[in-house]
Amino acid sequence: MRSAKGEGTNAEEDFSTTTPSSYLTLTGVTIRHLGCVDYDAATLLQEQLVAARRAGQVPDMLLLCEHPPVITLGRGFHPEHLLLTPEQLVARGIQVRQAARGGDVTYHGPGQLVGYPIVDLAPPDGDVHTDPQQPDGTGSGARPHRDVHAHLRGIEEMLIRLLAGYDLTGVRVPGRTGVWVGDAKVAAIGVAVRRWVTWHGFALNVGADLSAFDCIIPCGIRDRGVTSLSRLLRRPVSLVEVQDRLAELLRAPSGLA
């Protein structure tokens, strides 16, 4: 297990049993829409922004994007959870990459909204993390001070509220990180922390095509499947629609987003 101060955090193992949060911890962050971007390019951008955030050169932000097909292997990866050979994956046009995030193996691809919060959990002023947004909308939604647990739970809460806007009931599963609807996982979460600045984040399945998940045992979980917004709603849902709803959800009380 790595310290939250270090290069990575295994979200799936280290923080999945903490008390769920009813707070939105990303309210008011600057949102950047990257479009469809290569996984390696997104990783490099995150690393640059983490350094810039540490230096106070950029604000807290949330990167939203989509990736070409790629399987990522987290710090808790088990080889038996990757079901195809490298040659078979190449034939299907799927890359494989190591990831600094916590958790096991997951898939990113077209029709999936990926979010990377670049958030400083230990800003120098030390006093802006005392007013989390409450379920009734009160509170500033400031980030939790040096609390990776609350950061993870806040991401889950954000996704649960996003689903609620579609009249879907998203839930947590005790002992696991992510968001489920029924017995199927709709959003995976795996974060890393570098000197109290977060990176990596979440992947929300939006499109109906989930066939690439057959290449893996997602997050190493054998007894539950995966689903998507489009499947749950039985209609096509676009990434643009979901990004717009997410931006509105995270809009600060002052009207800033």
Q: Which of 36, 65, 215, 219 is catalytic?
A: 219
69 vs 245: CA distance, rounded Å = 25
Are 88 and 25 in contact by the 8 Å Cβ rule? The answer is: no
- Residue 148 near residue 160 (C-beta atoms within 8 A): no
Whether 219 is a known active-site residue: answer: yes
**How would you class 197 by CB atoms within 10 Å of its CB: exposed for 0-12, middle for 13-18, buried for 19 or more?**
buried
Indicate which residues carry an active-site annotation: 219
